[in-house]
Structure 1
Amino acid sequence: MQKKFQLTSSQWLLIVALLVFAYACFVLIRPYVNSIVMAFIISLLIFPIHEWLDKKMPTMRNTSALLSCIILTFIIVIPLLLVFTAIIQQGSSFSQGVYHWVTDGGVQELFAQPWVVKILDIANTYLPFDTLKPSEIGQKVAELASTFGSNLVAISASVVGSATNFLMNFGLMLFVLFFLLRDHEKIINTMRHILPLSRSQEDRLLDEIENVSKSAVMGSFLTAIAQGAAGGFAMWLVGFPALFWGTMMGFASFIPIIGTALIWVPTCLYLLLTGDTSWAIFLLIWSVAVVGSIDNILRPLLMQGSAGMNTLMIFFSLLGGLHVFGLIGLIYGPLIFAITMVLFTMYEEEFNDFLDQQDNN
């Protein structure tokens, strides 16, 4: 018969002290948790490359870890810089075009269309607010256009600030990633040793964390890339800057429920207002049938099989994670759900006899 393990008062004191100081350590690193978590997840994604380098240089662990970080930098940062430059150029050209369209009388021509006049008449008759006058609307749009320069400066400053913040976080992530790659065996063995679980339970928990981390990244970001590419192609066909609006669709795809509709619905309305009805219908059909189906098919497909999570659970894990943690919640949400499911399965197995007995009572 297995001897029952009893904790002494000094051991309880040690556990309490450890929890208190562990929480104090968490408070210290809380501003950098996202960078640490991303380093952990990227270490899982890039580990096959690092493992190959490690085999080529078995006695040079520092060098192999450094090379892995350099390769990651070339894979992520350089393409992002090129895309970012192109986005700025296309976005600036598009914005200047809108500015000139407004100042050259495009708004007045638009409101002179017979069907637009008819819609305004209907709105003024049935909608419970002040009368909509084309001249006043045109004046408001002109005022917005006249402040375009100052708005562009503010947006540019915000973008530069975000880019600087991204580079700082990326540098911190690379620093953490280096040690995760170099000391991965020691870290895993330490985690196994301190977890009060059986080896099979540890394997299941660690494997699930790895699988869900990978699937959350692949499911969210590959879906965003695919939707951005499909949406950008459609935007290019209808005459808009493809890279700029494709990137905007990619970012919009992270927003639950609304998603890419935040971009293509106003675009369809604009095409209708300017008389490009056929292109508006095409963009509507393409966005619903192609761009929308990518989110409905690709994301659940990439994230299937994680701890038995079905599509409904995946949806709420993404929605809740985004609401609580922001963009990084697209990874945290599924990870929290998946670990909960694994722990629930372990609980069910550990207390199976007791639960069966309760069912029979």
Structure 2
Amino acid sequence: MTEPRPPRSTRLESRTFILLLIAVTIGFGWILVPFFGAVFWGVVMAILFSPVHRRLVPKLGGRRTPAALVTLALILVIVIIPTVMITGALVREAATVYARTQSGELNFPLYFAQVYDALPTWVTSLLDRAGLGNLAELQAKLTASLQQIGQFVGAQALAIGQNTLDLVVSFFVMLYLMFFLLRDGGALSRRIREAVPLNDAHKRELSQKFATVVRATVKGNVLVAIAQGALGGIAFAFLGIHAALLWAVLMAFLSLLPAVGAGLIWAPVAIYFLVTGAVAKGVILIAYGVLVIGLVDNVLRPVLVGKDTKMPDYVVLISTLGGMAIFGLNGFVIGPVIAAMFMAVWDLYIVERTAVPEEIPISRHPGEGRDPVPPNTVQDPGLRRDDSEGV
């Protein structure tokens, strides 16, 4: 017997409602585009500090609003104020380096020529075969690259100065959003889970995976990057290298990329020391880079991230590079999150496809397929058996 088909008007109303739902969702996302960075980092910070908020609620008598305010103050003191101070110092130091490069006080092509002249003959022959033996051409390319970097830094500084009002508005939008996400985030996440048309097990798995990866990426990778950048900056300052803060930030930035890391900064500097006669400085920097900067990732990352949530390094590398190419600086979080959700969804799909369905015994008669009850057997009083029906 076939079930009656729903009336055509009912199906039309359902499809119209779905289209309306999609349209208003796209429209809401569209109006959030100008504040994408503020909304994104507000959500990330709320997810990262939600455990702190949950611990503060009982200590403040179950009042969620004061707990959210205290958590927001902690975010300001721990994250936002130091970031603003470091960014201001970095902009000033980058401008100083650019000015010294323009005046000739810092001559990177000369440093490159010194390294090239000190290379062994077999290395220079390999460079010649690879088409990299033309020193003048390499110097021209290096100079052009440095000029482009300087122009980019200057353009970014000018953009920051011109868009100060937008930055201030975005900053307060982020703080405002963080407060309400901390206070009402639990109810909002439950509401979102109820609206997602998946079974409860899948929704629970995906939501836990999302929160875990966000916390792991920010708390783990960022703290590891900060540690490596700080250690590298201390070494550069101790060895008397100019613009130690600038190089420290670059090392921290590159530390977000596994298999690449801060070695792209300290290794060329160590090579320069070795080939220019500062052998002691070169050996110290190499030993420090390998034993301290290089190993801090292996020591801190398992503690901060956890081995069970760590994705393969090649997945992290590709997703981080791709995310930053598409979303800019925000991509170092967005890329790994998308990759982790991709892997989680496919894992759930594979589990569903390979799950063995439970076998249900098929019987032609009501009493067939059951063990018969021996006569004169006392049954459980809680079980009622109707002998006339056999059930």
Which residue of structure 1 aligns with residue 18 of structure 2? 15
Alignment counterpart, residue 328 of structure 1, candidates 321, 324, 330: 330
Which residue of structure 1 aligns with residue 211 of structure 2? 210
Which residue of structure 2 aligns with residue 284 of structure 1? 286
The 10-residue stretch of structure 1 (286-295 or 172-181) with the greater mean CA deviation from structure 2 = 286-295
Structure-to-structure mapping, 1:132-211, within 5 angstroms: 157=158, 168-211=169-212
The 10-residue stretch of structure 1 (338-347 or 240-249) with the greater mean CA deviation from structure 2 = 240-249
Confirm or deny that 1:25 pairs with 2:28: yes
Query: How far off its partner does 1:173 sit?
Result: 1.5
Query: How far off its partner does 1:242 sit?
Result: 4.4
Query: How far off its partner does 1:35 sit?
Result: 2.4
Query: How far off its partner does 1:74 sit?
Result: 1.5
Which residue of structure 2 aligns with residue 221 of structure 1? 222
Structure-to-structure mapping, 1:210-359, within 5 angstroms: 210-240=211-241, 242-254=244-256, 258-272=260-274, 274-295=276-297, 298-299=300-301, 302=305, 304-306=307-309, 309-352=311-354
Query: How far off its partner does 1:326 sit?
Result: 2.3
Select the structure that is richer in helix.
1
Q: CA separation in 1, counterparts of 2:219 and 2:92?
A: 29
Closer, same or farther: CA 220–39 of 1 in aligned 2, 3 Å: same
Letter matched to residue 51 of structure 1: R
Q: CA separation in 2, counterparts of 1:163 and 1:264?
A: 34
Q: CA separation in 2, counterparts of 1:187 and 1:5?
A: 36
Ranges in structure 1 where 5+ consecutive residues have no aligned partner: 357-361
Query: How far off its partner does 1:171 sit?
Result: 2.5
Contact 1:265 1:284 in 2 (8 A): yes
Query: Scaled by the length of structure 2, what TM-score is found?
Result: 0.68
Query: How far off its partner does 1:188 sit?
Result: 2.0
Q: CA separation in 1, counterparts of 2:215 and 2:114?
A: 54
Closer, same or farther: CA 111–118 of 1 in aligned 2, 3 Å: farther
Closer, same or farther: CA 246–13 of 1 in aligned 2, 3 Å: same
Closer, same or farther: CA 261–309 of 1 in aligned 2, 3 Å: closer
Percent of paired sites with the same residue:
26
Closer, same or farther: CA 305–326 of 1 in aligned 2, 3 Å: farther
Query: How far off its partner does 1:190 sit?
Result: 0.9
Q: CA separation in 2, counterparts of 1:111 and 1:42?
A: 46
Closer, same or farther: CA 296–166 of 1 in aligned 2, 3 Å: farther
Closer, same or farther: CA 109–228 of 1 in aligned 2, 3 Å: closer
Query: How far off its partner does 1:324 sit?
Result: 2.6
Q: CA separation in 2, counterparts of 1:110 and 1:25?
A: 52
How many matched pairs?
342
Closer, same or farther: CA 4–190 of 1 in aligned 2, 3 Å: farther
Query: How far off its partner does 1:169 sit?
Result: 3.5
Q: CA separation in 1, counterparts of 2:47 and 2:351?
A: 28
Q: CA separation in 2, counterparts of 1:214 and 1:62?
A: 23
Letter matched to residue 190 of structure 1: R
Closer, same or farther: CA 227–188 of 1 in aligned 2, 3 Å: same
Which residue of structure 2 aligns with residue 46 of structure 1? 49
Letter matched to residue 207 of structure 1: Q
Q: CA separation in 2, counterparts of 1:95 and 1:326?
A: 23
Letter matched to residue 78 of structure 1: I
RMSD: 4.6
Closer, same or farther: CA 211–277 of 1 in aligned 2, 3 Å: same
Q: CA separation in 2, counterparts of 1:4 and 1:300?
A: 58
Ranges in structure 2 where 5+ consecutive residues have no aligned partner: 359-391
Query: How far off its partner does 1:260 sit?
Result: 2.4
Q: CA separation in 2, counterparts of 1:42 and 1:245?
A: 27
Which residue of structure 1 aligns with residue 38 of structure 2? 35
Contact 2:91 2:157 in 1 (8 A): no
Contact 1:111 1:117 in 2 (8 A): no
- The SS at the match of 1:196 is coil
Please tell me whether Structure 1 or Structure 2 has the larger radius of gyration of its CA atoms: 2
Which residue of structure 2 aligns with residue 359 of structure 1? none
Which residue of structure 1 aligns with residue 58 of structure 2? 55
